[in-house]
Structure 1
Amino acid sequence: MSNVLDGKVALVTGGSRGIGAAVALRLAREGADVALTYERREDRAADLVEQIKAAGRRAMALAADSADADAMSAAVDRVAAEFGRLDILVNNAGVFLVGPVEELGLAEFERTVAVNVRAPFVASKAAARHMTAGGRIINIGSNMAERTVFPGFALYAMSKTALVGLTKGLGREMGARGITVNLVNPGPTDTDANPADGPNAAMISGFTALGRYAAPTDIAAAVAFLAGDDSGYVTGATINVDGGFTI
């Protein structure tokens, strides 16, 4: 039996660790050839490429700072050129700059918007040039876009909320071409940046209905569904994979 994504090519931005790495591996296991971008952790990116190749798929890693619009556009074009097509774009890369609003300067604002908002727009714009019917654009947002329970998250929540509008607008625009655009909002997820055994983990878990963190693979499962044929009538939607954080 063939895999769901056989013959497809996917690009995952910020794919060398955490949720991005889990997404890249899941898409590969579903049959896709997978490219990923990374900013600093070349070692992790290289290791992930080897894991994808070991699963029998083509893989490549591209160094690209998501804050660099030209680099993001070039990365998308290179993946399409190297693999001959592009079917799935997962806009996963993000920055997490938090603190009291009076202590956040324009530098933090500009980088947050550049990575969390402009990069998904630029990458989606570039991907749209290569995608055909059946294409998938999947944005990775945050539960903080719908429920901001801690002080200091105004800038981050603003940037992730912008993805709701981007997803809906692109979903409307791309629909006539048979391309879907959707948003996944993870809740507390066990990553290096927010470990499930961290000092605030018990309190954070308490805000969820399930009382625990997600594993990165939980988020990857939702992305895999949106990347496949079974989600063909889902577009412009937000899927909260947050253990009930926002209910």
Structure 2
Amino acid sequence: MTNDNPVAVVTGAGRGIGRALAIRLATDGFDVAGTWNRDEKAADETKSRVEDLGRRCLMYRSDVSDPGATASLVEQVASDFGQVDAVVHNAGIASRGRFVSDTEPAEIQRVLAVHALGAFYLCSGLAPILRKSTRGSIVLMSSVATSNPSPGGAPYMMGKAALEALAQTLGLEERTHGTRVNVVAPGLVATDMGDRLARALTGADDAASLDAAMPFGRVTRPADVADLVSFLVSNAAAQVTGQRIEIHGGKPEVTR
């Protein structure tokens, strides 16, 4: 089958930035193939929000760190939609905030598997399908942590750094097939994960309570990130590839 609308695959689409991405891309005219892993109720809410916009949405439970699960996901999306035009790898997890000397091997393996290996499995499976699109685009969600590191976050920063290396290589490989590859690197974002980070580093109740400390008057919201991704996968960005764009409201560090 061939879809009438362009199709976007969004990992981690159940909540936070992922939900904002699904909604914004649906607003832009995309049908959405979203993934979730833990919160089925949240995934159903994302699906309803996209369908309320008149777009098709299927939500797949899938563990991005599992190569077999990702291969099955790619096969199912291809069968259900018949095409893929944009891929946004957004799924991610936080590390425990321990120093390298206190980090267990299982911790770093878990975080790298989601951020770096998960992105690799997904892009490896979907790249051949994207080549058939006239507007193929991949956006990998990284973090300002790779350019603004802090103690206690080695697994997370290593995972994101490896993801960025993948993006650089993939962009060179796929440009001959017409697929663009870019990286978006948010700073603190007002999500559940952002709230936990804000509490851990500043003692604030949540990320939004740091609004007054930000140069532009507020912490970045999921919709801000979705707006940037919307541009990168659009025809307006047809000449944009191989770029890493930070979005943090002028303050990459998480401090009061």
Q: TM-score, normalised by structure 2?
A: 0.88
Change (3 A) 1:102 1:173: same
Contact 2:94 2:156 survives alignment (8 Å): yes
Cα-to-partner distance string for 1:46-79 (whole Å, 9 max, x where unaligned): 1111111111111011011122111112212211
Aligned to 1:140: 141
Aligned to 2:64: 66
Gap runs ≥5 in structure 1? 1-5
Aligned partner of 1:139: which letter?
A: L
| 1:207, distance to aligned residue in structure 2 (A) | 8.2
Q: What count of residue pairs does the alignment treat as equivalent? A: 241
Aligned to 1:25: 23
Match of 1:43 among 35, 41, 44: 41
Q: 1: CA distance between counterparts of 2:13 and 2:74?
A: 14
Aligned to 1:3: none
Is 1:118 the counterpart of 2:111 in the alignment?
A: no
Aligned partner of 1:243: which letter?
A: G
Change (3 A) 1:204 1:108: farther
Gap runs ≥5 in structure 2? none
Aligned to 1:130: 129
Change (3 A) 1:205 1:155: farther
Aligned to 2:153: 153
Single out whichever of 155-164 and 229-238 deviates more from structure 2: 155-164
Change (3 A) 1:45 1:202: closer
Deviating beyond 6 angstroms after TM superposition, the runs of 4 or more aligned structure 1 residues are 202-207
Contact 1:11 1:76 survives alignment (8 Å): no
Give 3-state SS (helix, strand or coil) of 1:194's partner: helix
Contact 1:225 1:231 survives alignment (8 Å): yes
Aligned-pair identity (%): 36
Aligned to 1:164: 164
Change (3 A) 1:50 1:105: same
Change (3 A) 1:234 1:166: same
Change (3 A) 1:159 1:236: same
| 1:193, distance to aligned residue in structure 2 (A) | 1.8
Contact 2:188 2:252 survives alignment (8 Å): no
Across the aligned residues of Structure 1 and Structure 2, the Cα RMSD in angstroms comes to 2.1
Q: 2: CA distance between counterparts of 1:29 and 1:88?
A: 14
Q: 2: CA distance between counterparts of 1:82 and 1:202?
A: 38
Contact 2:187 2:247 survives alignment (8 Å): yes
Q: 2: CA distance between counterparts of 1:206 and 1:245?
A: 12
Q: TM-score, normalised by structure 1?
A: 0.91
